[in-house]
Structure 1
Amino acid sequence: MTTPTMIDRAGLRGLARPVALAFGLAALITLAAKVQVPFWPVPMTLHTLAVMAIAALAGPRLAVGAMLAYLGMGAAGLPVFSGTPERGLGLAYMVGPTGGYLAGYLLAAGLIGWLAQGASMVRQGLAMLAGLAVVYALGAAWLMLFVPASKVLAVGVLPFVAGDLVKIGLALMIVALWRRFRGARRA
């Protein structure tokens, strides 16, 4: 018989793995945020790709946990967001023009994770499109605080649609490859 550790007594053994996974996935989201593809009016990142793939693979709870960890690290002042530290840090960055998109990613992670569970590739793609609509809706609504409403679609949505659709396609490929790899390992 083994002596229970402090982790066992606190009931954290079952919690340690998902928390570690959430922070690991938050690190992947951070890396995706730092990859910038030159684009106008602002550089495009791989945020969308990471959030979509993580949500479809990890499910709603872990995907939301990863986004909460990511947002928490950013709120604490760590340079996890695109353009940080140059464009600001912490809460000041989060309430700036991209704040609505960050909130949209959080809601999209849960929605995609929920809709994509056990779904076909077509339904997963539709789940990702639904998540993207949430990101655009919250992002555009928040952006209206900084840009005239008549220009929000032109600067905050339309320039990114084609690139985001490509990222959804790539996320679907990542999901398919991951599932195939995992299936081959189990056989």
Structure 2
Amino acid sequence: MALNSAALAPTYLPSEGTSRIIRQTGLVVLGTVLMTVAAKTQVPFFPVPQTLQTLAIFGIAAAYGRNLAIITILAYLAQGIMGLPVFSGVASGPAYMMGPTGGYLVGFIIAAGIVGEAADRGFSKRPFAMFGTMLVADMILFALGFVWLTTLIGASKAFEFGVAPFVLGDIVKIALASAALAAIWKLLRRA
């Protein structure tokens, strides 16, 4: 199969028909499982432990492209709204969505759209371009989370607890995601 598609997953999907829909559905399910595992995975990091959610979001978006990535993140959030234990803690449901992480959860959708659009334009093959795009998407994700958290605990505490402890970890995750996608493309070109 020729690697002429800009995003990774669409390259390997049939161009139309039932088979394409089945594979897209499988990718959405796989993506929601990856998001759940990433949310539940705590990685020791300074100054606070980190989950792998942003790594999963950026990886999924860069691999799937904009539309499939947004559908995947929306499916993940819908599972959480329905009460399934997909988020980092044990809580879920509509009340959880309105809590301190609400802005970040909305940011997941926006960030997936930005990174997915860049992947659709071929950025996932270029690690520095994808790194920059993911960094911008992450800043927007943080901004949405910060603004929401500010309404609950004030700007100073929102920055102290909701932004500052996670910046370095997210930069590491962005570097890993952008490098991994470029490496996968290189491997596929050789195959």
> Which interval holds the TM-score relative to the shorter structure?
0.7 to 0.9
The CA distance in 1 between the partners of 2:47 and 2:82, in whole Å, is 28
Question: How is 1:103-182 mapped onto 2 (pairs within 5 angstroms)?
Answer: 103-116=106-119, 117-119=121-123, 120-182=126-188
CA-atom RMSD, angstroms?
Answer: 1.8
Distance (Å, rounded) in 1 between the aligned partners of 2:154 and 2:45: 21
Aligned-partner residue type, residue 33 of structure 1: A
Equivalence for 2:103: 100
Q: How much has 1:99 moved relative to structure 2?
A: 1.0
Report percent identity of matched pairs: 46
Q: Is the 2:66–2:112 contact (alpha carbons within 8 Å) kept by the matching residues of 1?
A: yes
Measured in 2, the distance between the counterparts of 1:124 and 1:48 equals 14
TM-score by length of 1: 0.85
Amino acid at match of 1:108: A
Contact 1:26–1:69 (CA under 8 A) maintained in structure 2: yes
* Unmatched tracts of structure 1, length 5 or more: 1-10
Assess if the C-alpha contact under 8 Å between 1:56 and 1:112 holds in 2: yes
Q: Structure 2 matches for 1:48-67, cutoff 5 A?
A: 48-67=54-73
1:82 maps onto 2:120 in alignment: no
Alpha-carbon spacing, 1:98–1:67, altered in 2? closer, same or farther (3 Å): same
SS at match of 2:151: coil
Aligned residues: 172
Question: In the TM superposition, what whole-angstrom CA distance separates every residue of 1:73-128 from its partner, at most 9, and x where no partner exists?
Answer: 11111100001x2xx22112111101111110111001111123312222111110
- Indicate the SS of the match to 1:45: coil
Kindly name which structure, 1 or 2, has the bigger radius of gyration based on alpha carbons: 1
TM-score by length of 2: 0.83
Structure 2 unmatched ranges of 5 or more:
1-16
CA distance in 1, matches of 2:140, 2:78: 20
Q: For the residues of structure 2 that align with 1:28 and 1:49, how far apart are their CA atoms?
A: 10
- Of 3, 13, 33, 1:27 maps to 33
